[in-house]
Structure 1
Amino acid sequence: MIKRILSFSKNDSRLHDDDLKKALKDNLGIVWVDIIEPTVEELNLLQNTFNFHSLTIEDCLEANQRPKLEEYDDYIFVILVGVRKLPDQDELEPYQLAFYLGKNYIITIREKRGGISLKSVHNKILLKNNRILSHKAGFLSYVIMDSFIDGYLDLLEEVEDDIEEIEEIVVHKPERELLDRTFDLRTNILIIFKAIRPQRHVMRGLSVDEIELISESARTYFTDVYDHVLEANDLCSSYRDRVGGIVDIYLSSASNKMNDTMRLIAVLTAVITIPNLIASFGGINFTEFADKGIEILKQWPFWTFIGTIIFATTMIIIIFRKMKL
């Protein structure tokens, strides 16, 4: 549906009703049509009004397109891919943002809700931000794309906080739940990486290629967006390596914990087995002990036998302590 229709000139800005034809007739010079979850009727209206190529309309209907930049006679068509959090979940999913940029108009088509918020850009126009109003549609497209890519950086900042939290815990408490959380985090990083990586070529094209609809000064600004894309791409690679390191630390800590457990079992087994072996030997060879009853406590062989068990057990404990087991 049509979210907002705004128009502006150098000295004024206006918020229009959702009637596209009326807004185009009464606009102040440059029009921005912002659409979320477009319907077939709305896209057909855009095609008939602006004479857009049918393939671009098809790309808007069928999401999951790769980022791309296409130049036509009197407009350019851009597809970017963002990521958004699923409602009430920590999982991420990609979504599509399409641009039509003409001489006096810009149209943004967001595939889904919950992704980038353009409300701040809307407000800048309505509050007559001189930096936007003094430029043409090409500069407005930069402002929108800059907000879009900055959304990646904000999301990656949250990812870094999660990584730092896990890194502090994993050494001391390598629990299974922590490993599951790490794998979920790695999945999200890969989703971000796959979404941001192809957009380098789009931003480079907007900042380097001599596109008539984008002025030389606007291309300079797109260079800044291109740098942000590279930064996000590098952060994804770095965070992916750090998450891999967390998994290695977890496995190492879990292995050390298992080794400690096995050493404890070995010590207990030795402490129990040796005295038990001696006691079994005594039970086989000194059957007369059982016949003498309480009188056996007065016999020196019995205490020698008990002393041997205590001595053997003590020596085993001393040996293991010296071996630091």
Structure 2
Amino acid sequence: MFKTRHAVPGSAPGTLTLPAPASPAPKPKICLVEYDAGNLVEREIVNPAELIEQLNSSKVSWINIDGITDLECLEALGKHFNLHPLALEDVLHTGQRPKVEPYSDYLFIVAHMVYQDKKGRICGEQVSFFLGENYLITVQEEADYDVFNPVRERLRAGRGIIRTAQADYLAYALLDSIIDHYFPVLDEISNAIEDLEDELLERPDRSMVMKLHEHRRSLTQLRRYVWPLRDVVNGLLHDHTGLIKEPTKIFLRDCYDHTVQLMDFVESYKEITTGLMELYHSSVGLRTNEVMRVLTVITAIFIPLTFIAGVYGMNFAPDPPEHRGLPLNMPELYEPHGYIIVMVAMLLIAVAQLFFFRWKKWL
């Protein structure tokens, strides 16, 4: 679901190293989007050196890198924009806690993007932002999927104020898109939990416990991302570097409200899964009690019958060898219909017990 890459233990701070991939990693996709109020240029970049040459300082530049398998590209960007090696190291070593760090002339922001892949599985990846005065660099882990297409469409169509605003508004729009895409993921989890609740009430099964644990694990992971993401937005709201303009902070307030709402959803869904786990154990306990009650009733019915059958199975001799009567032995053994009489008596005892259990509401 979520991948984490750590630095080599004992390595020097700011060391840029790539993890050894299990298979040959594809080259990252680099896209350069430059725009102002009247024009927008979108290019696919192959060579990192070519990227630096094509930057236009008079426009807002958005450099999006899909994939973290090219050290040359990151080092070139770090040298051109004076990016700190520690920030570049956090880009490569994913699994960072969402955060915002101010540097001399840019902000370094880490967030986690969550989405569903083509198979419906919940996936997540780290997105790193370098926000300068007139540029924004975003670095994603994977190249297959992201949640930025609505922002790209707004840029191409020139809808809203995104083309007239600065790079800080673009950073807000991308961050807002990341936050908004948590909602459909949580909706899917909510629908799955509701279906499990209905099944638990009708026919509890052990496989449902595994599904509940999977949902709890997903919610715990989402909580790890949403909780600090709220602090990230709050940090941007109280930015003192001047990179976040006052008009953009108004929009960030709405973004902050969305993170609070997400936290409420995550916490409430976790409580629901806890309640469903207790409901499962209660349902299993009730079913076990019902089974034990029926078995106890059956056992209670057969106890006197077993006693009678055991007594008559003692094989007392009806007559002594001298053919004299034994009055202290079982008199029924001398009766021609003794077997029928005993069986009817046993049946009457069983029926009487059933009525007694019904009267006591044990059945």
TM, length-normalised to structure 2: 0.81
Q: What are the residue-to-residue correspondences of 1:160-179 with 2, within 5 Å?
A: 160-179=190-209
Q: Judging changes above 3 Å, is the alpha-carbon distance between structure 1 residues 7 and 266 closer, same or farther for their aligned structure 2 residues?
A: same
The DSSP-based 3-state class of the residue aligned with 2:165 is coil
Range 119-128 or range 311-320, more displaced: 119-128
Q: 2: distance between equivalents of 1:256 and 1:287?
A: 50
Match of 1:14 among 34, 38, 41: 41
Q: Judging changes above 3 Å, is the alpha-carbon distance between structure 1 residues 113 and 181 closer, same or farther for their aligned structure 2 residues?
A: farther
Partner AA of 1:182 in structure 2: L
Corresponding position: 1:65 with 2:92: no
Partner AA of 1:24 in structure 2: L
Corresponding position: 1:265 with 2:295: yes
The DSSP-based 3-state class of the residue aligned with 2:161 is helix
Match of 2:228 in 1: 198
Q: 2: distance between equivalents of 1:47 and 1:103?
A: 16
Match of 2:14 in 1: none
Corresponding position: 1:30 with 2:57: no
Q: Judging changes above 3 Å, is the alpha-carbon distance between structure 1 residues 157 and 297 closer, same or farther for their aligned structure 2 residues?
A: farther
Match of 1:277 in 2: 307
> What RMSD over aligned residues (CA atoms) do the two structures have, in Å?
2.3
Partner AA of 1:4 in structure 2: C
The DSSP-based 3-state class of the residue aligned with 1:103 is coil
Range 219-228 or range 2-11, more displaced: 2-11
Match of 1:55 among 70, 83, 86: 86
Task: Name the one with the larger helix percent.
Answer: 1
The DSSP-based 3-state class of the residue aligned with 2:313 is helix
Structure 1 residues 37-93: Cα deviation after superposition (integer angstroms, max 9, x where no partner): 122111011112211112111111222222221122221111112345578574x56
C-alpha contact 2:115 2:147 (8 A) present in aligned 1: no
The DSSP-based 3-state class of the residue aligned with 1:246 is helix
C-alpha contact 1:64 1:96 (8 A) present in aligned 2: yes
Number of aligned residue pairs: 317
Q: 2: distance between equivalents of 1:190 and 1:279?
A: 62
Corresponding position: 1:137 with 2:167: yes
Range 77-86 or range 239-248, more displaced: 77-86
C-alpha contact 1:170 1:249 (8 A) present in aligned 2: yes
Q: Which 5+ residue runs of structure 2 have no aligned equivalent? A: 1-27, 320-332
Q: 2: distance between equivalents of 1:84 and 1:319?
A: 61
Structure 1 residues 256-307: Cα deviation after superposition (integer angstroms, max 9, x where no partner): 0000111111122222332222122223366559xxxxxx998343333222
Structure 1 residues 299-318: Cα deviation after superposition (integer angstroms, max 9, x where no partner): 34333322211111111111
Q: 2: distance between equivalents of 1:43 and 1:108?
A: 11
Q: Which 5+ residue runs of structure 1 have no aligned equivalent? A: 290-295
The DSSP-based 3-state class of the residue aligned with 1:77 is strand
C-alpha contact 1:78 1:98 (8 A) present in aligned 2: yes
Q: Percent identity between the aligned chains?
A: 27
Match of 1:112 in 2: 142
C-alpha contact 2:115 2:181 (8 A) present in aligned 1: no
Q: Judging changes above 3 Å, is the alpha-carbon distance between structure 1 residues 287 and 32 closer, same or farther for their aligned structure 2 residues?
A: farther
C-alpha contact 2:33 2:63 (8 A) present in aligned 1: yes
Match of 2:272 among 231, 242, 252: 242
Structure 1 residues 158-186: Cα deviation after superposition (integer angstroms, max 9, x where no partner): 11111111111112211000111111111
C-alpha contact 1:99 1:108 (8 A) present in aligned 2: yes
Q: 1: distance between equivalents of 2:334 and 2:193?
A: 66
The DSSP-based 3-state class of the residue aligned with 1:171 is helix
C-alpha contact 1:83 1:195 (8 A) present in aligned 2: no
The DSSP-based 3-state class of the residue aligned with 1:21 is helix
Q: Judging changes above 3 Å, is the alpha-carbon distance between structure 1 residues 34 and 307 closer, same or farther for their aligned structure 2 residues?
A: same
User: Which runs of structure 1 show a deviation greater than 6 angstroms over 4 or more consecutive aligned residues?
Assistant: none
